[in-house]
Structure 1
Amino acid sequence: MNGCTRGRGRSKKYWGEVIRQAMTQLQLTENMTLDRRLWRTRILKLEKFVTRMSFTKLENATSDFSEDYLVGNGMLGKVYKAILPNDWTLAIKKLNDWENLEDEFVSEITTLGGLRHRNLLPLIGFCVEREKRLLVYKYMHNGNLHEWLQSNEGKAKILDFRLRVKIALGIAKGLAWLHHVAEYSCLDSYKKDIYCFGVLLLELVTGKELHELTSSRNLFDHSPCLLDADKDLLGKGINDLILEILELACDCVKFFPNERPTMLEVYDKLKTISQGRNDD
Structure 2
Amino acid sequence: MVSNNLLAGPVWPGFGRLVKLHVLDLSWNNFSGGIPDELSNMSSLEVLNLAHNDLNGSIPSSLTELNFLSQFDVSFNNLTGDIPAGGQFSTFANEDFVGNSALCLLRNASCSDKAPIVETAHRKKNTASLVALGVGTGVGVIFILWISYVVLSRVVRSRMHERNPKAVANAEDSSGYANSSLVLLFQNNKDLSIEDILKSTNHFDQAYIVGCGGFGLVYKSTLPDGRKVAVKRLSGDYSQIEREFQAEVETLSRAQHQNLVLLEGYCKIGNDRLLIYSYMENGSLDYWLHERPDSGAQLDWQKRLRIAQGSARGLAYLHLSCEPHILHRDIKSSNILLDENFEAHLADFGLARLVCAYDTHVTTDVVGTLGYIPPEYAQSPVATYKGDVYSFGIVLLELLTGRRPVDMCRPKGSRDVVSWVLQMKKEDRETEVFHPNVHDKSIEAELLRVLEIACLCVTAAPKSRPTSQQLVTWLDDIAESRAQSSDEASDSFGFA
TM over 0.5: yes
Alignment match, 1:163: 303
Alignment match, 1:226: 431
The 1:83–1:242 alpha-carbon spacing in structure 2 relative to 1, beyond 3 Å, is same
The amino acid that maps onto 2:89 is T
Alignment match, 2:219: 80
Residues in 2 aligned to 1:211 and 1:168: alpha-carbon distance in whole angstroms:
20
Alignment match, 1:34: 74
1:180 counterpart (308, 314, 320): 320
Alignment match, 1:65: 204
* 1:119-268 correspondence to structure 2 within 5 Å: 119-150=259-290, 152=292, 154=294, 156-185=296-325, 186-187=354-355, 188=361, 190-212=385-407, 216=412, 217=414, 218-222=416-420, 223=422, 225-255=430-460, 257-268=462-473
Residues in 2 aligned to 1:123 and 1:240: alpha-carbon distance in whole angstroms:
39
Question: Retained in 2: the 8 A contact 1:149–1:155?
Answer: yes
Deviation at 1:138? 0.6
Most deviating of 207-216 and 162-171: 207-216
Which is higher, the Rg of structure 1 or of structure 2?
2
Q: What secondary structure sits across from 1:81 in the alignment? A: strand
Most deviating of 228-237 and 153-162: 153-162
Residues in 1 aligned to 2:264 and 2:279: alpha-carbon distance in whole angstroms:
10
2:228 counterpart (86, 89, 108): 89
Question: Retained in 1: the 8 A contact 2:400–2:451?
Answer: yes
Residues in 2 aligned to 1:270 and 1:214: alpha-carbon distance in whole angstroms:
32
Question: Retained in 2: the 8 A contact 1:71–1:79?
Answer: yes
Q: What secondary structure sits across from 1:140 in the alignment? A: coil
The 1:273–1:108 alpha-carbon spacing in structure 2 relative to 1, beyond 3 Å, is same
Residues in 1 aligned to 2:300 and 2:405: alpha-carbon distance in whole angstroms:
20
Q: What secondary structure sits across from 2:202 in the alignment? A: coil
The 1:221–1:211 alpha-carbon spacing in structure 2 relative to 1, beyond 3 Å, is closer
Identity %: 33
The 1:250–1:75 alpha-carbon spacing in structure 2 relative to 1, beyond 3 Å, is farther
Residues in 1 aligned to 2:292 and 2:394: alpha-carbon distance in whole angstroms:
22
Deviation at 1:76? 4.9
Give CA deviations for 1:69-120 in whole Å, capped at 9, x if unaligned: 2222344543221222333211123335552354443233223223332222
Deviation at 1:247? 3.1
Question: Retained in 1: the 8 A contact 2:266–2:274?
Answer: yes
Deviation at 1:53? 6.7
Residues in 1 aligned to 2:312 and 2:203: alpha-carbon distance in whole angstroms:
35
Most deviating of 137-146 and 36-45: 36-45
Residues in 2 aligned to 1:155 and 1:219: alpha-carbon distance in whole angstroms:
17
Residues in 1 aligned to 2:225 and 2:195: alpha-carbon distance in whole angstroms:
16
Q: What secondary structure sits across from 2:437 in the alignment? A: helix
Give CA deviations for 1:227-271 in whole Å, capped at 9, x if unaligned: 332111113322232233233223334455444321101111211
Q: What secondary structure sits across from 1:231 in the alignment? A: coil
Q: What secondary structure sits across from 1:170 in the alignment? A: helix
* Unpaired segments ≥5 residues, structure 2: 6-26, 30-49, 54-71, 77-82, 92-106, 109-183, 326-353, 356-360, 362-383, 486-496
Question: Retained in 1: the 8 A contact 2:196–2:224?
Answer: no
The amino acid that maps onto 1:86 is D
Question: Retained in 2: the 8 A contact 1:119–1:170?
Answer: yes
Question: Retained in 1: the 8 A contact 2:254–2:322?
Answer: no
Q: CA RMSD in A?
A: 3.8
Question: Retained in 1: the 8 A contact 2:405–2:417?
Answer: no
Alignment match, 1:272: 477
The 1:128–1:273 alpha-carbon spacing in structure 2 relative to 1, beyond 3 Å, is same
The 1:61–1:166 alpha-carbon spacing in structure 2 relative to 1, beyond 3 Å, is same
The 1:113–1:26 alpha-carbon spacing in structure 2 relative to 1, beyond 3 Å, is closer
The 1:98–1:162 alpha-carbon spacing in structure 2 relative to 1, beyond 3 Å, is farther
The 1:26–1:99 alpha-carbon spacing in structure 2 relative to 1, beyond 3 Å, is closer
Q: What secondary structure sits across from 2:296 in the alignment? A: helix
Most deviating of 58-67 and 261-270: 58-67
The 1:229–1:110 alpha-carbon spacing in structure 2 relative to 1, beyond 3 Å, is same
Comparing both chains, which one has the higher relative contact order based on Cα–Cα distances under 8 Å and sequence gaps of 6 or more? 1
